[in-house]
Amino acid sequence: MSAEPWLADSAAVAREVDADLACGLTTAEARARLARAGANQIEARAGVPGWRKLLAQFPDPLVYLLIAAAIISFITWAVEGADGLPFEGFVIAAILVANAVLGYVQEARAEQAVAALQRMVAVSSSVVRDGVEQRINSVDLVPGDIMLLAEGDAVSADGRLVTAASLTIAEASLTGESEAVVKDVSTLEGPVAIGDRLNMVFSGTAVVRGRGRVVFTGTGMATEMGHIAVLLESTEEEPTPLEREIALVSRTLGVAVLAIAVVLMAAVLATSDISGAGDLVEVLLIGVSLAVAAVPEGLPAILSVVLALGVQRMARKRAVVKKLSSVETLGSTSVICTDKTGTLTRNEMTIQRIVTRSGEVDVTGTGYAPEGELLVGGRPITSGQLLAEVQAVLSGGSLANDASLREEHGTWIVHGDPTDAAFLVAERKAGFTEARDARFRRVGEGPFTSERKLMSTLQVDAELDARVVVVTKGAPGILLSRCTHERAGHDSLPLDDDRRSEILATVERLAGEALRTLAVA
């Protein structure tokens, strides 16, 4: 595009990429654009042939030293009359081959594991083509395609929003921001950072709430993810700490062995009666034999075995190591500068504490597996009044909610906002889910916006003669200002100014403990 799409309105962007916002591209036009722009995927480095991968295991100073030792062993054996077998040369050669094969096999397995993961995450996208909504493989997306976004969808390319209805997107994979971003179709002005381009969607992100319509402006390597890939490809690979140490040891050992051999041969020549070429060859063989004997033939194999054991330990922790030497590099690291969300953390929210009028309840367990307990002072809840209040909080938070939680092959999967998911998980831990499902039926909603800072749903309550009730969760200060009563067991009590101040003080205390606070009504 000739200009940044976030600085232009959606109609202008559509004209720029020659797109029809209503009917989308034709199949023929999409095919032609795919041929010009290429597949919508991050370009990988050209594959390296297997034989080159095997040879790549040899460029190492210590390996060079061992190769020289093996060659010298074979030459010495030949000069001495080729009597018997050159066992030392064979042993060194076997060690070199075994070391190379071990490294090659490990790297090949890692590449296969990564390829398998990439095949698993292949996604499809809903687009409008020929005036009809259809589902296509995401690698076939092209600039000008019109994509329809809904909750749970993965965004497969960069694009300008045309319409958005409560559209909220998790951009942690791109920006590192743990909070999902509420999108807006309004045109922006001036230089805007990626995280603030509210009228844009980006490849690699995911829709957690709402719906939207997007015209794609960039695919494949023309996306923000593609730009990151280019930067990563341009970085030069530096020797690892282990490789630097091995190179130093190899140089030092080589110089020392050569010096000792020369000194020894000089001493023998000075103190012995050399009568002919045969004696001279004998002296040279003594020096060469000393040099070969001083080379630590088993060191490369020992290093490879130790690193391979480290790789196996990492594999048990679900980490794929593509290069053996990376294990030692990680072990030598003292400071890591990294993004948090999605790298050190999993972008999973967990409810840790529930505060009601009757007291505070601790919730154990982390992650999305509904495994944990609700405890007061380390003991199960015994107060019926407190239990009723906790149920109201968790069920209310689960009703004012767009997330879903289900178990697949022993793993609990969430679609939607992590904060919404936290309520669903805590409610399952408490065992309230079935009662809530049986009592309420959703008939409407008031979506979360950055202005309201609240999310509301309209629910038909079977226990109140099918009357419609409003359930809301959101920022404590804003929600508290709209409430007149507080839940007290199965009843409610009026809120006065003193109680409001007390609640706000509790919110401040929890925030001081690095806890994110939400209120439910």
Buried b (16+ CB within 10 A) or exposed e, 155-179: bbbbbbbbebebbbbbbbbbbebbe
Q: Residue 221, SS3?
A: helix
Residue 339: active-site member: yes
Q: Nearest to residue 75, comparing CAs of 222, 296, 285, 224?
A: 285
> Which residue among the candidates 9, 184, 339, 461 is catalytic per the annotation?
339
CB 111 within 8 A of CB 49: no
CB 363 within 8 A of CB 351: yes
Phi, psi of 254 (to 5 degrees): -60, -45
Q: Residue 82, SS3?
A: coil
What angle separates helix 87-120 from helix 299-316, to the nearest 10 degrees?
20
Q: Which two tokens stand for residue 281?
A: 């060859």
Q: How many CA atoms lie within 13 A of 372 on its CB side?
A: 23
CA gap 54, 57 in Å, rounded: 6
- For 50, 172, 507, the CA distances from 178, given in Å and listed in that order, are 41, 5, 21
CB 502 within 8 A of CB 356: no
CB 150 within 8 A of CB 166: no
| Number of residues that make up the chain | 521
Q: Nearest to residue 404, comparing CAs of 442, 460, 358, 439?
A: 442
Report helix, strand and coil shares of the chain as percent, to nearest 5.
45, 20, 35
**Close Cβ partners of 76 (under 8 Å, ≥ 6 residues apart):** 86, 285, 288, 289, 292
Supply the residues annotated as catalytic.
Answer: 339
